[in-house]
A and B are shown apart, each in its own frame.
Chain A
């Protein structure tokens, strides 16, 4: 068994081995490049960790997680101090921010916000009923979208230890990741994948370039300028880079691999990236819920079997019919997966309802089929949630936000096809008869209540919305020319 180090020890070991080596590269608000050496990073981390260790035992710390050096340093410091850390989207609307902080307050005795100067400041929370205080057994916490639109927090048990064999996880290692590599982090640090990638990268001695906001041209520039070897993208990133930046394969010569997850990737985008990188440098990973299983497909496997999400990686897959019987290859059914339970199993149930069989197979409800060689194919399901560039949006939440406006009598939210995001939110709104409200007012109203991608991009004013006697919206009655069926 390889020895396991604390995060603090691991950082100081790396800093001792290569003090002048580059650990992190970030950009300030003028887009000037800033570099932190391992020695500098270790120094900042120790300083902040010192302040965090002094906090009472039931504390957690919130970091405003823009893709900046201070945010990354703060996150690492919290892990080094073994204080549970929550990366917060800096653009969280006030109402949702309050809810998230209160949720944290229910679990932890004290919630602290990490200040720009590196010190923690306690957040004032109203007293109220609390679950029994937890000790510091959480490494980090992440906000999940939740299928009801109510913000939820998923917990990764801790404290975090550096285990060379599991940092990063084995499936990630299969995708061309190398210790000490140059990596670009594009997605926001308050999302699970970029966050866990940052942690793994720092612990695995990567040189991490933090792209502070997404611009497709900038991503291409950064890959070329910093000779990036590995990065993770969402299909939306991939589409926008292809369409807006129109990169040459030469820009990506340094990349050993690109991994994409989070949402289904359309075939055109997939082929475009296979053309750019060559089929063997593109990997797709399906199966986000830890402890259930995942599949991995390399580009050449996808070309041979277009649409596959790959074979189970250390994961067994079983397709079952509605009676719970196993079906033969080629027949569709519910996708069940079983994987090994790594030690230190995460309580990462997230927001999905998981059904389990007695012999340990679990499903999140996806449908699909296996071919003779064990390659999995997923079927699109009619689903209530609208997928906006990889983010799931509950139409109920958007409708509720708009109904909160005094001039809105009725509203229905739908998915509207979009070139790069897949879908965006469109709303049909019935206004009060004498209303003079404008679209921008409704958009701003939504913006004060909802995260950016949930704000409708199309407002149509209508006379009425068809509803049944019981009040349910009759979506099948809506004139849906140009609208996605949900």
Chain B
């Protein structure tokens, strides 16, 4: 068959940008059998009417919301469908534990703690690189999607997140990780868990730049906000870079700033107890930021792969350690 095929309009993977999109993407993964970005067309990747009906049932079961029967047909991307349940971000999806990737149960879950910005959406790239079979949870901060005041100390955050982790996995062994603030919280969590007699089999600190392509942009956004840049402008930047949905408003930027400042302060004020176990540190080849970890460190140099990211290398390393 020699059809004239139009050039590929593949826009590449676009990651979920908030808990609603993460949740919807996960339900799609449940019915389709593989992970999707937020711009893929449901039916264009093989979804059929029965799959669509299952997604609508999921929404009903989880949120007690009855979407119209043609909801998926009319909103055939994760981005457009998630807009219909966006208010759940504040209502039911604002808790600390977020399922980023369900996996198929053949691997123990990996718990990744948020970076300074509070955004766990970055870890969607990591989940994708690990593979659809892996289970990955994110821990997100208080006060990002609600008006509650953010927690201010690493210790307080670790205690709240500990409860969440144990509710998902009461027994362990535990596989933890994080970037920037999240790495510190993960160390704290590892200490708490070990102190309680649980086994921590992986404590990973990952250089944020390797996981989030827009990491530098996010950091400089917060610095600019502190210096008085208008939240609306920062919001525009974030929208352009696929970090927040298009219907997000500047309040989110204000809440993000509060969270970021709280996290910066928390790290600055952190007095870590020494952690008896090992810490696996993932960094780019060549330079690495000097960090004093209160733990024995094993460094993993992560080279850039053919796809221009370091995710493949990180994922390879993590998979070996997770088993």
* In the complex, A touching B (Cβ < 8 A): yes
A479 at the A/B interface (Cβ < 8 Å)? no
Quick one: closest B residue to A396, CB to CB?
B1
1/0 per position for B18-36, CB-CB distance to A under 8 A?
A: 0000000000000011111
Instruction: Determine how close the nearest CB of chain A comes to the CB of B321; give it in whole angstroms.
Output: 20
Q: Is the Cβ of A29 less than 8 Å from the Cβ of B3? A: no
CB of A217 within 8 A of CB of B5, answer: no
Contacts of B49 in A (CB 8 A): 213-215, 240
| Given A436-B306, A440-B35, A444-B40, A31-B70 contact (CB < 8 Å) | yes
Cross-interface CB contact of A440 among B5, B37, B68, B69, cutoff 8 Å? B37
Q: How many chain B residues touch the partner (CB < 8 A)?
A: 37
A448 interface residue, CB < 8 Å from B? Answer: yes
A213-B73, A218-B69, A440-B36 known; A400+B45 contact, CB < 8 A: no
Which residues in A have their C-beta under 8 angstroms from that of B70? 29, 31, 212-213, 215
With A440-B36, A444-B44, A457-B33 already in contact, the answer to whether A215 and B306 are too (CB < 8 A) is no
Tell me whether B305 is interfacial, beta carbon within 8 Å: yes
Nearest A residue to B34 via CB reads A439
Residue of A nearest to B315 (CB): A436
Min Cβ gap A217→B in Å is 7
For window 1-16 of B, CB contacts with A under 8 Å fall at: 1, 3-6, 8-10, 13
Cβ-defined contact, A459 with B69, below 8 A:
no
Bound-state Cα–Cα, A215 to B71, Å: 11
Contact A217–B306 (Cβ < 8 Å): no
In the complex the two chains form, is A441's CB within 8 Å of B10's CB? yes
Do the beta carbons of A217 and B44 come within 8 Å of each other? no
Q: Within 8 Å CB of B132, what residues of A?
A: 439
Assess whether B34 is in contact with A99, with CB atoms less than 8 Å apart: no
Q: Are A98 and B4 in contact (CB under 8 A)?
A: yes
Query: Complex Cα distance A240/B57, Å?
Result: 14
Q: Does B290 contact A (CB under 8 A)?
A: no
Given contacts A215-B69, A440-B45, A459-B34, contact A95 B3 (CB under 8 A): yes
Tell me whether A145 is interfacial, beta carbon within 8 Å. no
In the complex the two chains form, is B48's CB within 8 Å of A436's CB? no
Q: Mark A349-390, 1 if CB is under 8 A from B, else 0.
A: 000000000000000000000000000000000000000000
Closest to B29 in A: A440
Given contacts A95-B3, A99-B3, whether A452 and B46 have CB atoms under 8 Å apart is yes
Given A438-B35, A443-B34, A447-B44, A397:B4 Cβ within 8 A: no
Chain A residue numbers with a CB within 8 Å of B63 are none
Report the minimum CB–CB distance from A177 to chain B (whole Å).
26
Assuming the contacts A31-B69, A444-B10, asked whether A149 and B1 have C-beta atoms less than 8 A apart, the reply is yes
Inter-chain contacts of B8 with A (CB < 8 A): 445, 448
Q: Encode A395-433 as 1/0 by CB contact (under 8 A) with B.
A: 001001000100000000000000011000000000000
**Which residues in chain A, 1-38, are within 8 Å of chain B measured between CB atoms?**
29, 31
Residues of A within 8 A of B47 (CB): 452
Q: Are A448 and B44 CB-contacts (below 8 A) given A244-B50, A436-B307, A436-B312?
A: yes
Rounded to whole angstroms, the CA-CA distance of A30 and B310 in the bound complex is: 45
Q: Does A330 contact B (CB under 8 A)?
A: no
Task: Quote the shortest CB–CB distance from A440 to chain B (angstroms).
Answer: 5
- A-B pairs, 8 with minimum CB distance: A455-B46, A439-B34, A447-B44, A443-B45, A95-B3, A436-B307, A215-B69, A440-B36
16 pairs, CB–CB < 8 Å, chain A vs chain B? A31-B70, A95-B3, A98-B4, A215-B49, A216-B53, A217-B53, A400-B1, A404-B5, A436-B305, A438-B34, A441-B10, A441-B13, A443-B32, A447-B46, A452-B48, A457-B32
Query: Contacts A94-B6, A440-B36 given; 18 further ones with Cβ under 8 A?
Result: A95-B3, A95-B4, A149-B1, A215-B53, A436-B312, A438-B13, A438-B34, A439-B33, A439-B34, A439-B35, A440-B35, A441-B10, A443-B40, A444-B10, A444-B41, A446-B45, A452-B44, A459-B34
Interface, chain B (partner A; CB < 8 A): 1, 3-6, 8-10, 13, 32-37, 40-41, 43-50, 53, 68-70, 73-74, 128, 132, 305-307, 312
